[in-house]
Structure 1
């Protein structure tokens, strides 16, 4: 192993000095640049975050440093941000250009909007370059960013503005009317900025382009204490109102090093495309901090809705080396005829948001020659666990613990459990709480306190750790099905179902039963060729299939065929919605 690590180090140094040297995978013959190669145990043992005392600001301490390297010729000639809209319009900004534009916007915030450090800015924009500029301008001014998806309703917007006390909102001409509906009920809101390239005007709103034309590009970055609030993300709110999850300047600004360097395996030569919605923390993970910590190019496609042909064409046309999308998206992509496309630049594929089915991983590997490396984390954390380059992939496992955390399986009181025993996935927070964990649920100390048991932060997810240290996700704590004394994780049943050629997608939840208390129910989206098949026979076939693939007691006693599954903005299946629907009706005997 030592010799292998040394060889990889030499190759890494060679390609850094001589970027024209290309190494090809002996199995797939795809070009691949040796990057952060090492073995997991070495990463875990040697990994340390930089020690930051006093002040830290990502804009000054990371982005501006990359701009300096860029000017000195010390970085690959990739743009820092590369945006396309599918209609032949492109924006390519270097780190220096990002600095120029974001400083102007920072002056808009402080000089024209009178925003001060720690004031809150609510941002709702689609995937357009201005979204990234607002992110950086908030960093430069020390204002706290609150991202929101463009699919919010007026009621959602009202809750976020009133709960946060945001003083400024930045959005586009399509969402501005929704803000106007609720603005009179938000006394703290005193600045509304609209991003519009059509020169249209709206009463009570200030046009971003006009504002930036009246300010200088000279701006001195605010000195933010390392523990100052940096961003607040609203959780999805599957139970109760969405909570405000607050992160500090260091939490993501340094903490996501573990994502960018080890899981995404990025260098300054890479072009990363992450398809996440701008309202999801995953966009911060990969399309801001994780990528730019490594000096990589962030690639963005405007793509208002996920479209499989657009994704495959984009991966073929542009020099994208690293691709990140949700498991749902991979399930959609492998249903296309992928043999029509060539992925000559693609080197590394990852997914996050929910577990990915082994069958999907296998089909993607057959079509592209590439594995899908899974990552597991939350809005409250950086990467908790994942599969990293150089690790053996165990299909169905979410990988091993991130170097950032001590991850254990614990009981409801926070006591670590033995290997192979199911329990709560927890992160050790005593004697020292990791700085790359969220600060608090702002304004809700009770909810914050509920997350902790003894020495651990409980993620709310259930799982177990095998003898090799691999973690296996069972489900959300409230997703686990208790049937006639058996504990059944929905993901294992979904894995079995997806292996059947009739199943395009599935979601498994508990359903009330007068005898067993609850039973397994599967909601299934059929593939096109099976939509006209006899449904009663399909039910029998699928039940038999699950019994053969996994333990017989886990088979779905109820099956319902649906046209689509309810999903969150980020593409996660909303099992909670299906479960509520099941339990709102009276149990019936089979």
Structure 2
């Protein structure tokens, strides 16, 4: 851990076994969901692995979840047990009455804050996590899973409806780790600097678990800081790291220095590697860029090769050992000619190496599969050499700082304001390639007046920070089709105008808004 303790793999295993034993003593068994709400750090790793040692399902949720998004995740997985930090107790108290299945809460750091905890009676049992784990035995007979058993549920947002929990079987998780170690050439002598959150597929399986698969050293940071990135790479002695496109743009925007190449880093794996800075980034920092394409539901079917220069705009070729991949006409599901844009569709060559569906949402699972292919909602084309190029999202997904965001969640929060009659959230291109800012269009009830700052404050109290819009626009009506469906494409194409209020232009700090709440 950056600036913290160091653990051997043996010590990690011992800690995971103690977590498993502590959970078992509280009645958790194989197949049960264990929700984890902890900041990046060793305890989050121990809790995740401990749940899996027990045979339970790890459900590490976004640390920004609050209100409806927090309640939805816990209720959907029917969580009876939650592991969380003491600093999140106010969040738990606010949602207490809405949690339908929760029985036990293990609180990390509870003893340190007892004087400041609201000790009015709780509907569920609060336990001191540190005491429970310290008193548990240091060995545990692992519940060996079969490949189809669910290892983790990771939440990802689609276009409509609440966030979807992707059920990832053990075979998919192991493939992600082994495939990353092979294709990214992680070896036992490597040091991997990781700052990805552990509620994401990349941080959890492509970094922590990939390093464990080959015995590499992992240096885990609790957050991404572009101004400190290079220094932390140096301090850790890192040889490898990972990122998302906007992160690389933020790093590249830092002032040039004659010391930019003074490090041991040899390669960065990213989705995407922004084409407009790719060559300059490699030259400036003296690192190799490896671009990939994938999603939680299917893993990583496309990889660029270490043996070839980074091809501008390409997200790689198909890893044909594990995946079938095709570019199809979304209206017919037939393959399109080479060089023509269509939708990316994927299927697995080996059982249990793709998701097992969306938990509690069989209709959404069926909707995603058609004609034996998983339809990704991403579009692009393939050249004659098999290189694939991402072009756009065919769906209405909003992509913000590596988060897939459902417009539904933002709209539901907006409609909770008594003055708002209609709401539609869309993505609008940000200053970073392949990244969106959020634009919320609202129609007010007749005779109502509402300042954008007031609506923003309302949203900041209900939504995770990454879902709070940058732009708010009041309209007389939303554009609709003949069937009365909101035409989101028309809203996305609508230029920002005098009725569009920009949070950044008005100097409104999101951090200040959240802290006020």
TM-score range relative to shorter protein:
0.7 to 0.9
The residue aligned with 1:274 is 194
Pairwise CA distance, 1:416: 2.2
2:270 to 351, 354, 364: 351
2:317 to 400, 408, 411: 400
Structure 1 Cα separation of the partners of residues 178 and 214 of structure 2: 8
Pairwise CA distance, 1:186: 2.1
Task: Determine if the alignment matches structure 1 residue 191 to structure 2 residue 104.
Answer: yes
Structure 1 Cα separation of the partners of residues 495 and 41 of structure 2: 48
The residue aligned with 1:292 is 212
Question: Equivalent residues in 2 for 1:337-486 (5 A)?
Answer: 337-339=255-257, 340-352=259-271, 355-403=272-320, 404-412=322-330, 413-429=332-348, 434-478=351-395
Structure 2 Cα separation of the partners of residues 388 and 343 of structure 1: 25
Structure 1 Cα separation of the partners of residues 218 and 465 of structure 2: 19
Query: Which structure has the greater CA radius of gyration?
Result: 1
The residue aligned with 1:106 is 20
The residue aligned with 2:424 is none
The residue aligned with 2:80 is 167
SS of equivalent to 1:406: strand
1:583 to 491, 495, 498: 491
Deviations 1:464-512 (A, max 9, x none): 10001000101111369xxxxxxxxxxxxxxxxxxxxxxxxxxxxxxxx
Q: 1:588 to 1:285 in 2, by over 3 A?
A: closer
Pairwise CA distance, 1:346: 0.7
Structure 2 Cα separation of the partners of residues 588 and 369 of structure 1: 39
SS of equivalent to 1:146: strand
Pairwise CA distance, 1:180: 2.2
Pairwise CA distance, 1:238: 4.3
- Aligned-residue Cα RMSD (Å) equals 3.2
Paired residues of 1:328 and 1:572 also in contact (CA < 8 A):
no
Question: Equivalent residues in 2 for 1:87-98 (5 A)?
Answer: 90-98=4-12
Paired residues of 1:280 and 1:570 also in contact (CA < 8 A):
no
The residue aligned with 1:43 is none
Pairwise CA distance, 1:140: 0.5
Paired residues of 2:177 and 2:205 also in contact (CA < 8 A):
yes
Q: 1:391 to 1:577 in 2, by over 3 A?
A: farther
Paired residues of 2:197 and 2:203 also in contact (CA < 8 A):
yes
Paired residues of 1:150 and 1:175 also in contact (CA < 8 A):
no
SS of equivalent to 1:298: strand
Q: 1:409 to 1:576 in 2, by over 3 A?
A: farther
Pairwise CA distance, 1:319: 1.1
The residue aligned with 2:446 is none
Paired residues of 1:270 and 1:296 also in contact (CA < 8 A):
yes
Structure 2 Cα separation of the partners of residues 576 and 451 of structure 1: 30
Pairwise CA distance, 1:200: 2.5
Q: 1:522 to 1:258 in 2, by over 3 A?
A: closer
The residue aligned with 1:209 is 130
Paired residues of 1:277 and 1:569 also in contact (CA < 8 A):
no
Pairwise CA distance, 1:435: 2.4
Pairwise CA distance, 1:458: 1.4
Task: Determine if the alignment matches structure 1 residue 178 to structure 2 residue 97.
Answer: no
The residue aligned with 1:84 is 2
Pairwise CA distance, 1:350: 1.3
Q: 1:465 to 1:479 in 2, by over 3 A?
A: farther
Paired residues of 1:261 and 1:290 also in contact (CA < 8 A):
no
Structure 2 Cα separation of the partners of residues 272 and 362 of structure 1: 22
Structure 1 Cα separation of the partners of residues 467 and 97 of structure 2: 34
Q: 1:364 to 1:165 in 2, by over 3 A?
A: same
Deviations 1:444-469 (A, max 9, x none): 22211112222322111111100010
Pairwise CA distance, 1:223: 2.4
The residue aligned with 1:148 is 61
SS of equivalent to 2:241: strand
Pairwise CA distance, 1:182: 1.7
Paired residues of 1:102 and 1:137 also in contact (CA < 8 A):
yes
Task: Determine if the alignment matches structure 1 residue 326 to structure 2 residue 244.
Answer: yes
Pairwise CA distance, 1:575: 11
TM-score between both structures, scaled by the size of structure 2: 0.74
Structure 2 Cα separation of the partners of residues 586 and 309 of structure 1: 35
Pairwise CA distance, 1:290: 2.3
Question: Equivalent residues in 2 for 1:113-152 (5 A)?
Answer: 113-152=26-65
Structure 2 Cα separation of the partners of residues 577 and 587 of structure 1: 13
Pairwise CA distance, 1:419: 1.1
1:219 to 140, 146, 155: 140
Deviations 1:107-156 (A, max 9, x none): 10001x21011110111111121000011101110111111111111221
